[in-house]
Amino acid sequence: MPTSPSSPPPEGPVPGDPRPPGRLRRAATALWRGLRVGGPPRRGSERELELCRQERDRWQRYADSYERDLNRVRLERAQLLAWLAALHPASAVLVRGADGIHQLRIEAGGRQLSWPLHPADLGQFAHIPYVRHAGPYGRTRWDQAAHLRRHTRLLAMEGMLFTTAPDDR
């Protein structure tokens, strides 16, 4: 009589059972008990579990170290941007985009420069005027003009690159 896969094999021989009695049955019973859910953990799995925990802790220390480095670099970037905005007080403005992200915008050398700012760093930019109303699509007219100038320069450069010289014809 076959047994269900969830029940352990019987200890003693059962009449009509095709499996051999003796040591093989005892080995199958021991294997089943070792593999069943809720049984006592094997010594090997305890060691493997401890190794996995140590590896997880090691990677967590790496992640924490990277996060500290990232925060330090973000703070230094914000300080440099605040200093740059102080150097260009006439053109530096803060703009809040449609997506809620604040940007520092500066016009320097005829070009518009912009950087997204982290919300935690906004306190360093208190000396910069805040533009509350942006144009359609989150852009100001100043931004659109810079966009057009940038594309005009790119088209001029493209024209210079792809025109052939008279002697090449």
Nearest in space to 79 (alpha carbons), one of 108, 40, 121, 140: 121
Reading the block at residue 168, the tokens are: 């090449």
Residue 129, pLDDT > 70, answer yes
Q: What is the pLDDT of residue 137?
A: 43
Rounded-to-integer distance, Cα 116 and Cα 107, Å? 15
Alpha helices per DSSP H over the chain: 23-35, 43-87, 141-162
How far apart CA 66 and CA 58 sit, in angstroms, is: 13
Q: Choose the weakest-confidence range: 78-82, 137-141, 147-151, 157-161.
A: 137-141
Q: Dihedrals φ, ψ of 61, to 5°?
A: -65, -40
Question: What does the pLDDT look like over 75-91, one tens digit per residue?
Answer: 999 999 999 999 888 88
Give the number of residues written for the chain: 169
The Cα 95–Cα 133 span in angstroms is 8
Q: Is the pLDDT of residue 69 over 80?
A: yes
Start-to-end C-alpha separation, the chain: 95
pTM comes to: 0.49
How far is residue 126's CA from residue 89's CA, in Å, rounded to a whole number?
A: 12
Lowest mean pLDDT among 4-18, 26-40, 125-139, 148-162: 4-18
| Rounded average pLDDT over 126-155 | 70
